[in-house]
Chains A and B, each alone.
Chain A
Amino acid sequence: MIAKLAWRNVWRNKVRSLVVIIATTLGISGALFIAALISGMMDKWVQNQIETELSDIQIHQEDFVIEEDQKFFFEKEDLERQLTAFANEIKEKAYRIKAEGLAMSAHNTYQVILLGVDPDQEPKVTNISNYIREGAYFKEPGRIKQILISQKLADELKVRMNSKVVINLSDIEGEIVGEAFKVVGIFKTSSGIFDESHVFVKNDEFAKVLKMKPGQYHELAIRTGEEVEVEAFQTELQQGLDADLMAESWIQMSPALKMTEGYMDTFNWILLSVVLTALIFGIINTMLMVVLERTREIGMLRSLGLNDRKVGLMFILETIYLSITGAIVGNILSFFLINYFGNKGIHFESWEEGFEAYGLQAVIYPILELNFYVLVTLLVFFTGLLASYFPVRKAIRLDISTAIRN
C-alpha cells in the first residue's frame, strides 16, 4: 500500500518527475554507451595486437628475453619434443628469427625489428598477410633476399616496391653484417607504431645472414584453441619446458596492454561516478522540494497514525522509483544501442589517422558485459537510497501541529 502510494506520488508532478527520469535515462545510457565504446575499442586493440604481432603465447630462450641478443636461440627439435604434451591446447604455431637492425635507403636510416618468418606457417598465427597493400606476402625464392616493409617506413625511407633496402645488424657471432633486401610487399596495419618499427623477412634467408643453422630460432609464437584460458595454460606450459626456455602470455609480454585496459576500466567508473553524483544531487533537490510542498499532507498522514517508519519508507520508495525508472529505461535504451552499433560498428572516418597512430581501428564495435548493466542498476538503486536520506529526515522531523496549521 505504501509502495502504491509512493509510486503514484512520483507521477503527481509529471513534468518534474519526467525531467528527472529523462535526465537519468540520458546520463545512464550515455555512461553505458561510452563504457561500451571504450571496451569495444580496447577489445579490438588487444585483439589486433594479438593477431598482428603478439599471438597468445611466445616461447624464447630465457636470456633472449632479458638481453634480446640474437645469440640466444633454441633448437626447434628440442622444443618440439617438449611441446608434444600440449598438442591439444596449441592450435597453431610459427617459428621466428628475431633481431634488431638498421634499415637504410639512400635517403634515410631507421631502427627496426626484423622478424624472420615462415611464409606458410606465419599467416596461421598472425595476420600481417592480410594487410599487404602492394606486392605479395613473399614470392618464390629469387637471387636477392626478400623483405616486407610498411607503407609508413617506405615513405620515411623513400623506397617503393622492388627498391633495395640495406639492413645492418650484428650476427650471432657479434660481427656487423650488411645485407641488401628487395621490397616485395608493402603492408599497412591499423597501428602506426607497429608499422614504423617492424619489417618481415623469410626465416631461411634471415638465418643465413645471422649465420644461424637450419632449425635454430629465437621465438615460437603460439595461438591457443578458443577454449584455452591463456594465463592458466602459460603456467602449465612453463612447467613442461626446460629451465632455460621461457613461455610468456600476451599479458606478460605487453603489460601496457593490460594496464591500459585497467585505466579504461577506471575511466569508466569515474565517468559513472560523475553521472551518479549529478543524479544524487538532482534527486535530493527534487525530493526536498516534494517534502516541502507536501508538508500539510505529511502532517495529515502522521496525525492519522502513519508512523516514522512508514513515512520514511514512503519517501525512500518514492526516491528510489524516481531514480531507478530512468536507470531501467537508460539500460534498455543503451542495451539496444550497444547491440545495434555492436553489429554495425561505428565509423570514425574523420579521425582515422589519429586513431591509427595509437594502433586503434577507426571502426569500433561497442560491447558491454551484461554484468555491467546489472551493476549500474544496483548502483542507481543505492544512489536513490542514499539520496532519500535527506528528504526522509526532513519529513520525519516535521512538527505535526505546525505542518497541519500551515
Chain B
Amino acid sequence: MEVIITKDLEKIYNPDTVPVHAVNGISTSFEAGEFTAIVGPSGCGKTTFLNLIGGLEAPTQGDISILGDSISTKKKSEMTDFRLHNIGFVFQAYNLIPVMSAYENVAFIMELLNRPQAEIKDRVMELLDAMGVGDKAHQRPHQLSGGQQQRVAVARALASKPKFILADEPTANLDSHATETLLDLMLKMNEKEGTTIIFSTHDIRVMNKARRLVKMDDGKIVENGKPDTA
C-alpha cells in the first residue's frame, strides 16, 4: 500500500526575486513499512522535500497525497492536527523540549492526543526501553549524550504510532558509533512496529543501512532503488 504519493512536486523559493528551484518536479511514492534514505549533495533539496511531504511547507506546484488524502488543500490547523495523528518527526538537533525529562518528552505527544495515563506510561517505557534509554527516563535532555537524545527523539516520533516518520539528517551530529546504534535501533523499530521511516543523510554508512535509496540532485530524483544497485 502506498502511504505517500507525490506528483510533479515543485518548490520554488523567492519566485519573484532570485528564484531557487529547491524541489523541481518530483513524482514518486513510498510504500507502507519502507525504510528509505534520501541522499544527495548539500543543497540538493532533501530538507525541502521532507518538509513538503511532512506538510511543514506548502509546495509551489504539484500534489502530495498521504493515505489517499491530498494535503495541499488542507488548512493550516487541519494540517497541524494531521501531523499530530499521522507523522512523526526527528530533526538533526534540538529535538527535545529542554525543560522536560526523556519520559515527559515522549509522553508529550500522547498527552496531546489525550491518551489515558496508564496507556501512556506503558507505551513510553516500552519505547524508551526498546531504544535503550529506559534508564534515562527521568533525565533532562542536557543530561543525555547526543546519541541518547536522538534515541529519545525517535521514541517520541513513534509514540503515537504514526503512519510514517520523517527524519532529516538524524545522525549528522553523531559520531560513527552512535550513528550505527541509532540506525540499528530505527531499523529494529521499523521492523517491529511496521512504521514507514524516511530519512535523509550525507553519510555512506547510513545509506547502506537503508532498504531503499532515493538519490537527489538539483531538486530532482536522479536514482531510485536498492542501496547496492544504486
Contacts and interface: CB of A to CB of B under 8 A. Distances in A.
Given A300-B94, A303-B56, A308 B80 contact: yes
Interface residues of A, number: 23
Contacts of A307: 77, 80-81, 84
Contacts of A302: 80
A304 interface: yes
Interface in A133-179: none
Interface string A1-15: 100010011011000
Of the listed residues B51, B57, B99, the one surrounded by the most CB atoms of chain A closer than 10 A to its CB is B99
B18 interface: no
A9 B99 CA distance: 7
A329 B56 CA distance: 43
A302 B54 CA distance: 12
B94 A1 contact: no
B85 A401 contact: no
A314 to B, nearest CB: 11
A400 B112 CA distance: 19
B89 interface: yes
A331 to B, nearest CB: 27
A310 B81 CA distance: 12
A291 to B, nearest CB: 15
B190 interface: no
Contacts of B98: 12, 297
Given A400-B56, A404-B91, A405-B47, A303 B83 contact: yes
A251 interface: no
Nearest to A301: B97
A8 B89 contact: no
Contacts of A310: 112
Interface in B68-99: 76-77, 80-81, 83-85, 89, 91, 94-95, 97-99
B83 to A, nearest CB: 5
A305 B54 contact: no
B51 A401 contact: yes
Contact of B99 (A5, A300, A401, A404): A5
Contacts of B111: 1
B57 A306 contact: no
A301 to B, nearest CB: 7
Interface residues of B, number: 25
Nearest to B51: A401
A401 B56 contact: yes
Given A1-B111, A400-B57, A300 B77 contact: no
Given A8-B99, A405-B47, A305 B83 contact: yes
B195 to A, nearest CB: 16
B222 interface: no
B49 to A, nearest CB: 12
Contacts of A399: 57
Contacts of B100: 5, 8
A11 B99 CA distance: 9
Interface in B91-116: 91, 94-95, 97-100, 108-109, 111-112
A301 B105 CA distance: 11
Contacts of B109: 304-305
Contacts of B77: 307-308
Given A303-B54, A307-B77, A404-B91, A297 B84 contact: no
Nearest to B54: A303
A9 B156 CA distance: 20
Contact of B85 (A12, A300, A305): A305
A307 B81 CA distance: 7
A304 B96 CA distance: 11
B90 to A, nearest CB: 10
Contacts of A9: 99
Contacts of B76: 308
5 contacts: A300-B95, A304-B84, A306-B84, A307-B81, A401-B51
Given A300-B95, A301-B97, A306-B84, 15 more contacts: A1-B108, A8-B100, A9-B99, A296-B94, A300-B89, A302-B80, A303-B56, A304-B108, A304-B112, A305-B109, A308-B77, A308-B80, A401-B51, A404-B56, A405-B47
The 7 A-B residue pairs with the shortest CB-CB distance, nearest first, are A305-B84, A8-B99, A401-B57, A305-B83, A307-B80, A400-B56, A303-B89
